[in-house]
Chain A
């Protein structure tokens, strides 16, 4: 489906590479299957690592006997907690700026108390994978099973089983207070109150957690692992008691993350085994390990009470959110803070009271997952809005239009939205694109339509004082190198940086080479999380490229005997503006479709030979580069982009500014529901976002389509089913995600307001694109059937129950 781009302003036409649907520089390698996964890398003499995991969700660890495993021929090393120099660390947040509070204990290998089933207990390195597997079976672990607690509400009660060593299972609670909630409800003509539940879900990336590590010639432990955060090298070094510069992390170009590779996965285990054995080690989780033992999206229980006047104006919202953090803290407090800030959605409400809690249980731990606390409350507040609309006899669009926040309005947290807010436009566009309703095929089939909007932050929380760095240089032949520590395991971040550098330096995209994801050799660019890389590293690359460009133009101005302001840079030429050769009637590549950059160089040469009389107005990039080099004028720059910062919000009222900006969007879904079987067929999804500026519309469209499917899985089928801490859906036969067969037609529409804080006014789209899909689906199903499903995923069985058929 070709994306529609709405509202393209005339000024956009001036960009040459930005905003063009250019195939990503990494596309062919992935299409041909040549791009290497972490698990593809091998070195001579390499060992295979394996993790022994706890059999219980709650237990005391009494003893571990590794002797039989160590005796097995082919086993090189067996490690337990006692072999780890600093086994207990504290999860910290922030990179340049230490932020206090909510620090959670984290153990590399289990010790004392087991907190969830699948917790790592011991590590094995062996000559062959099957030997490692056997060795795991030979390790004898003595447990004393404990009662455990598996329901977050029960875990909050006084006297509940304590998951960890702390005094309470409640990790933290937040509040938002605005106006006077009682007064708000007193003004309401209609009040709806419901409890919503959303399940634990997995990321289900292409490659499970995987890596290979070795001790390099320089004595540095070098880890190549699919990660969203190469800067975990510090944490790994701390565990081993090594200086930070003795651990290096390199991220490959594929594997998929979606938040699941934000926390450390295999890196520490690999480093421990490499340090102990001195040999290269490869370690890849099985899909079951990935589902059972790695971080998930938090299940929430959400009670929402929403009041509106009879003309559809929201006047009061009271919400209580409880999130199940599982066995360890990880990123739960931050995910919850995102939910708290976004609990009211993109709506203006006079009186607000939000209380949120995240609680330890003996379930699989939860942490980051695409949307980071956004999708859960969106399901609740958007369902509530449709329930109000129904009672008030308003259309779903109408009630939303009467309540959307606009540019300059203040959120419930008091934060004024100073950048562009185009939510209303996105809502109008999705409904327009959905077209006239489909006709049901036969009697048990009912057609329904639903819409949902969201606002989702991009960029990290401002009190973290986020930074990113990027290096841009021009070589003597005019080719461009970008070095940036961005992790790109599928999102397309690296390609966007190449487009930015190409735009600023006036070269075709094929002339830019990008080095990414190496903690030792690329300038550190922070995490590939929080939809922040285009915003942060895009701005850093833009900044660096502009310094190089300024130097070039300065030199070119000397050559052309003019001032730099008069110059422009395009297609490897620097020329006096409005005096470009093509204005003299010589054909050049059409700027609107310069995908075929391959032949441009030849064309330039040909053109140059016949425009001798224009040489006082145009100079080749290559000649300027050589002139700069001869005079020692630097044609490289390392720039750091510092995000705007704020101090912590007021935790008693939730008032303050947490995020630099938000991305606003709406999705609409049409479904056909079979009332006899409960089967839902999604006929169409339309997704519209204000993306600010699409750096590469193909990539942005891919994010929007992928996000819609990710959200659809959440709405229809995805569910990590747990019973007393045991995962009942540990394989992809039980944990279902949409396949190609289930993927409906997704139409994407991009509004380009230019109002974002990213490069060229771009906004982030990676996470926002998956947030409103599930509530749009829920609203569509409710529209079709007249009954609402309050719990995700919406399965045929739940539908038949709601219809009273079973």
Chain B
């Protein structure tokens, strides 16, 4: 039985490095037995439940090098920014990135937003991670660094299964990169949860590039709809270059519902998630489309 005992009953060694370089050295030495802690909002409760029993904890909360948001053509977000900082950066809800802003806001709890980091939200690997769908619709890239070098890859290739990522034990996520979005872009985020402040039951992010009545492109991503945060590529392709009308939105929403891969075990019926996915796509698309304003 996974029992949260409210205490971490195993012993571990604790490091609080001050730089990325120090962190990489520690990871190189202890990687497979170590866990990175940033905000700890996921990790600490998992440790109390005995899901992780790392011999080493590497706390990166103090590393200022990971806490920046800067750039013009490419917006670079340090992985160590807390969610509240990221949310406030996009305030007042800047139209192109409104989906990311809304996704963080949906988490609701101030304490969590102050502690949790954007890198942690992704590295935890949960298919429910609230920031993943909007970032996927922005074609976000992530930077992974180790003593052996660095690699930049698309976020869509990062998650490899429920609570798993392709990150190596000696690697640290340092940055999330977003390309500047074209004129006429807007995005929206929809979430269904059981109560006001809750883990998502299903989420959907939509980013559209609108030119009058024409949808130049539409990117759709969903959380808690498949073993990993996912893009609905086939549904997206139905809209590229099309003049929008209600029938097309409806047809696309049915494709979104078909395209997701909801868990068949658990308390939520897969048909319920499919139904919600369609409704949420429509709501999200409608909002993003209106915000985009037609470029007129």
Give the interface of A toward B (CB within 8 A). Answer: 55, 129-130, 133-134, 286-289, 676-677, 679, 717, 721, 728, 730-731, 733, 736-742, 795-797, 800, 805-806
- Chain B residues with Cβ below 8 Å from A730 are 1, 3
Given contacts A129-B7, A130-B7, A133-B7, contact A797 B268 (CB under 8 A): yes
Are A130 and B197 interface neighbours, CB within 8 A? no
- Chain B residues with Cβ below 8 Å from A288 are 3-4
How far is the CB of A53 from the nearest CB of chain B, in Å?
9
Q: List 22 A-B contacts (CB under 8 A).
A: A55-B1, A129-B7, A130-B9, A133-B5, A286-B3, A287-B4, A288-B3, A288-B4, A677-B276, A717-B195, A730-B1, A736-B195, A737-B195, A738-B195, A739-B196, A740-B196, A741-B196, A742-B196, A795-B194, A796-B272, A800-B275, A806-B269
Q: How far is the CA of A805 from the CA of B272 in the complex (A)?
A: 9
- Nearest B residue to A679 by beta-carbon distance? B192
Interface residues in B248-276 by Cβ distance below 8 A to A read 267-269, 271-272, 274-276
Contact pattern, B 181-194, Cβ under 8 Å of A = 1, otherwise 0 = 00000000000101
- Chain B residues with Cβ below 8 Å from A731 are 4
- Chain A residues with Cβ below 8 Å from B108 are 741
Are B269 and A797 interface neighbours, CB within 8 A? yes
- Chain A residues with Cβ below 8 Å from B280 are 677
How far is the CB of A201 from the nearest CB of chain B, in Å?
15
- Chain A residues with Cβ below 8 Å from B275 are 800, 805-806
How far is the CB of B147 from the nearest CB of chain A, in Å?
35
Chain B residues touching A, range: 20 to 34
Are A733 and B199 interface neighbours, CB within 8 A? yes
Given contacts A133-B9, A797-B268, contact A677 B279 (CB under 8 A): yes
Are A806 and B271 interface neighbours, CB within 8 A? yes
Contact pattern, B 75-103, Cβ under 8 Å of A = 1, otherwise 0 = 00000000000000000000000000000
Q: How far is the CA of A740 from the CA of B109 in the complex (A)?
A: 11
Interface of B is mostly: loop
Q: How far is the CA of A740 from the CA of B272 in the complex (A)?
A: 27
Give the interface of B toward A (CB within 8 A). Answer: 1, 3-7, 9, 108, 192, 194-199, 267-269, 271-272, 274-276, 279-280
Q: How far is the CA of A800 from the CA of B273 in the complex (A)?
A: 11
The 4 closest A-B pairs by CB, nearest first: A741-B196, A806-B271, A133-B9, A676-B279
Q: How far is the CA of A740 from the CA of B279 in the complex (A)?
A: 27
How far is the CB of B149 from the nearest CB of chain A, in Å?
39
Not counting A286-B4, A741-B196, A806-B272, a sample of 6 additional A-B residue pairs whose C-beta atoms are within 8 angstroms of each other reads A55-B1, A717-B195, A737-B195, A739-B195, A797-B272, A805-B275
- Nearest B residue to A721 by beta-carbon distance? B267
How far is the CB of B220 from the nearest CB of chain A, in Å?
17
Q: How far is the CA of A742 from the CA of B274 in the complex (A)?
A: 25
- Chain A residues with Cβ below 8 Å from B192 are 677, 679, 796
Given contacts A286-B3, A676-B279, contact A134 B9 (CB under 8 A): yes
How far is the CB of A714 from the nearest CB of chain B, in Å?
14
Q: How far is the CA of A576 from the CA of B7 in the complex (A)?
A: 66
- Nearest A residue to B6 by beta-carbon distance? A286
How far is the CB of B258 from the nearest CB of chain A, in Å?
14
- Chain A residues with Cβ below 8 Å from B195 are 717, 736-739, 741-742
- Chain B residues with Cβ below 8 Å from A733 are 199
- Chain A residues with Cβ below 8 Å from B271 are 806
How far is the CB of B111 from the nearest CB of chain A, in Å?
13
Q: How far is the CA of A800 from the CA of B1 in the complex (A)?
A: 33
- Nearest A residue to B267 by beta-carbon distance? A721
Q: How far is the CA of A129 from the CA of B6 in the complex (A)?
A: 10
How far is the CB of A712 from the nearest CB of chain B, in Å?
11
- Chain B residues with Cβ below 8 Å from A728 are 267
How far is the CB of A729 from the nearest CB of chain B, in Å?
9
- Chain A residues with Cβ below 8 Å from B3 are 286, 288-289, 730
How far is the CB of A732 from the nearest CB of chain B, in Å?
10
Q: How far is the CA of A733 from the CA of B41 in the complex (A)?
A: 13
Q: How far is the CA of A728 from the CA of B2 in the complex (A)?
A: 10
Are A739 and B197 interface neighbours, CB within 8 A? yes
How far is the CB of A122 from the nearest CB of chain B, in Å?
16
Q: How far is the CA of A37 from the CA of B268 in the complex (A)?
A: 37
Q: How far is the CA of A733 from the CA of B249 in the complex (A)?
A: 35
- Nearest A residue to B108 by beta-carbon distance? A741
How far is the CB of A101 from the nearest CB of chain B, in Å?
36
Are A286 and B199 interface neighbours, CB within 8 A? no
Q: How far is the CA of A721 from the CA of B198 in the complex (A)?
A: 18
Q: Which of A287, A677, A741 contacts B197 (CB 8 A)?
A: A741
Q: How far is the CA of A666 from the CA of B196 in the complex (A)?
A: 27
- Chain B residues with Cβ below 8 Å from A736 are 194-195, 198
Q: How far is the CA of A338 from the CA of B9 in the complex (A)?
A: 45
How far is the CB of B274 from the nearest CB of chain A, in Å?
8
How far is the CB of B13 from the nearest CB of chain A, in Å?
16
Q: How far is the CA of A346 from the CA of B279 in the complex (A)?
A: 42
- Nearest A residue to B192 by beta-carbon distance? A677
Q: Which of A55, A740, A797 has the most CB of B within 10 A?
A: A797
Q: How far is the CA of A806 from the CA of B262 in the complex (A)?
A: 14
Q: How far is the CA of A797 from the CA of B270 in the complex (A)?
A: 11
- Chain A residues with Cβ below 8 Å from B276 are 677
- Chain B residues with Cβ below 8 Å from A677 are 192, 276, 279-280
- Chain B residues with Cβ below 8 Å from A739 are 195-197
- Nearest B residue to A795 by beta-carbon distance? B194
Q: How far is the CA of A133 from the CA of B3 in the complex (A)?
A: 11
- Nearest B residue to A805 by beta-carbon distance? B275
Q: How far is the CA of A287 from the CA of B48 in the complex (A)?
A: 13
- Nearest A residue to B266 by beta-carbon distance? A728
How far is the CB of A137 from the nearest CB of chain B, in Å?
9
- Nearest A residue to B282 by beta-carbon distance? A676
How far is the CB of A133 from the nearest CB of chain B, in Å?
4
- Chain A residues with Cβ below 8 Å from B198 are 736
Are B194 and A286 interface neighbours, CB within 8 A? no
- Chain A residues with Cβ below 8 Å from B194 are 717, 736, 795
Q: How far is the CA of A740 from the CA of B6 in the complex (A)?
A: 24
How far is the CB of A38 from the nearest CB of chain B, in Å?
15
- Chain B residues with Cβ below 8 Å from A795 are 194
- Nearest A residue to B268 by beta-carbon distance? A797
Q: How far is the CA of A676 from the CA of B108 in the complex (A)?
A: 24
- Nearest A residue to B275 by beta-carbon distance? A806
Q: How far is the CA of A287 from the CA of B49 in the complex (A)?
A: 12
How far is the CB of B156 from the nearest CB of chain A, in Å?
27
- Chain A residues with Cβ below 8 Å from B6 are 286-287
- Chain A residues with Cβ below 8 Å from B9 are 130, 133-134
How far is the CB of A261 from the nearest CB of chain B, in Å?
19
How far is the CB of A806 from the nearest CB of chain B, in Å?
4
Q: How far is the CA of A566 from the CA of B9 in the complex (A)?
A: 71
